[in-house]
Amino acid sequence: MREGAEDLLREAGFGAARREALPSDASFRRYVRLHGGPRPALLMDAPPPQEDVRPFLHVARHLARIGLSAPEILAADAERGFLVLEDLGADTMAMRLDFGADPLPLYLAAAEALAALHAAPPPEGLPAWDAARMAETAAATFLDWWWPEALGAPPDAATRAAFREAILAMLAPFAARGFVHRDFFPANLMALDRAAPRHVGILDFQDAAYGHPAYDLVSLVEDARRDVLQPVREAAVRRYLDARPELHKDEFAAAMAAHAAQRHLRVAALWTRLARRDSKPQYLRHGPRCWALLDRALAHPATLPLRAFLDAHVPHALRANPASLQEEPA
């Protein structure tokens, strides 16, 4: 472990705890499960400058204040990037689905928790997740990584400008209005034996921002990493909207399509960056799903600006993982 971790563990009463390293994801964060301490706990190791634990602390406290389940902060060294967190267990929604659990009650519970999250006033100080920021992040994967890999050369300045304008035009009708988790999907959700809405534990919320709630519902029901059956998807959307009767259903459906198009294009291209820059070709297996989800989103009239850009610049046959990249065998 990095310097400073042992000091924090001793101060928090976990100095003698047995450590179990947990599998890592696509970020720089690492987690260690602590056995034999005062209570079930995890050590988060988020090395600066690549990671910053202060947004995590800010959002964790917000979630607790509004009555939702997030890991309790047991000890923190924000300067060096270490947190000791309540261990909510290993029973993620993703694991339950992988082991064959009925998806419907899990997705309905997640939709209920998400509705409660969005209905509460957001905390101060969240970064923007608006059209301009989403155009920037989409360009950072699609134009900077997928485009030269798939098309053989970087896009020119005019193409970059046209892409930005397409994203801005598509998202302009849907102004940011509250808290968005940004990665609200089964791998970041826990199935807990608690009363609703605390029956869903919420993880990995450090990238939370101020945006449109449709983005999170898309993240849940149009997961980039797993297929969601249409009846389950539709039921979860209904449950969310039933819990938020103040929303206009047709407008929200249009917002979902527009945010889905941005998200699926950005994430489909992200797998290219992970494969080429970070030597993680295993993520390419999610590419076909993301491109298919993008196709579905582009069928909605709300996505016309982006659809027109892609039709003008990217033949449909090329909307896939770049042929130059090979998925790692399972």
116 lies in the same domain as 243: yes
Phi-psi domain of 251 (left: phi exceeds 0; alpha: psi -120 through 50; beta: other): alpha
Distance CA 218, CA 285 (A): 20
Domain span at residue 17 reads 5-86
**pLDDT mean over 169-188:** 97
227 lies in the same domain as 297: yes
- Residue 13 predicted with pLDDT over 90: yes
The model carries a pTM of 0.94
**pLDDT mean over 199-228:** 97
Residue 329: band (very low, low, confident or very high) from pLDDT cuts 50, 70, 90: low
114 lies in the same domain as 78: no
Residue 25: band (very low, low, confident or very high) from pLDDT cuts 50, 70, 90: confident
In a domain, 329, yes or no: no
Domain boundary residue, one of 68, 86, 104: 86
> What CATH code is carried by the domain that includes residue 13?
3.30.200.20
142 lies in the same domain as 31: no
In a domain, 323, yes or no: no
73 lies in the same domain as 207: no
Average pLDDT, the chain: 96
Predicted pLDDT of residue 131? 98
Cβ contact 209:126 at 8 Å: yes
64 lies in the same domain as 193: no
pLDDT digits (tens, 9 = 90+) for 96-131: 999 999 999 999 999 999 999 999 999 999 999 999
What's the longest Cα–Cα distance across the chain? 61
Give me the number of domains the chain comprises: 2
Domain boundary residue, one of 61, 86, 111: 86
Distance CA 122, CA 63 (A): 10
> What CATH code is carried by the domain that includes residue 292?
3.90.1200.10
Predicted pLDDT of residue 326? 87
177 lies in the same domain as 286: yes
pLDDT digits (tens, 9 = 90+) for 59-69: 999 999 999 99
